[in-house]
Amino acid sequence: MKICLRYLGDSGYQQGIGQELGVSQATVSRTVDRVVSSIVAQSNEWIKFPTTNHDLMEAKRIWQSMYKFPTAIGVIYCTHIGILKPNRHGDEYINRKGIPTLNGQDTCEAREMFTSVDCPLYRRLKLKSLKLRDVYRSERERRGATE
């Protein structure tokens, strides 16, 4: 966890972080991938946009009571996350300022809790975790049928 938090807190080069923490670059890479994939796999439990009438009314009530903003249900934030230009399809990541980035968009509710996250990296990891879940489910079903 320390490796992942260090990388996410100040994502320098993995090799440098590995040297700082006494592990290899490969260990940094695997650790970050495992921790982030685990978080993404469980994100639907925590990141939920209000959809029912009750949830929407409650969101408006909280915005009104906390910030005197009566009809809001959330706020949106967009940002560009700097990355190293990928070797494959690298030009697809160049933003209007000529810098390679991922474009992220998030929404939050009045208590500063995420209600939606949209980022290419997040989607890729989420798809990966869903595919893995399907593989594990199929394997469990296969084993159950043969045992």
Over residues 79-102, the pLDDT tens digits come to: 888 888 888 888 888 889 999 988
Strand order in the sheet with 114-118: 75-82, 101-108, 114-118
The torsion angles phi and psi of 57, rounded to 5 degrees, stand at -65, -40
Alpha-carbon distance 81 to 63, whole Å?
28
Quote the pTM value.
0.57
Residues of the chain with pLDDT under 70: 11-12, 120-147
| Single-letter code of the amino acid located at 91 | D
d(CA 127, CA 137): 15
Cβ contacts of residue 122 below 8 Å, gap of 6+?
Answer: 40, 104
Residue 147: what pLDDT? 47
pLDDT of residue 122: 53
Q: d(Cα 129, Cα 140) in Å, to the nearest integer?
A: 16
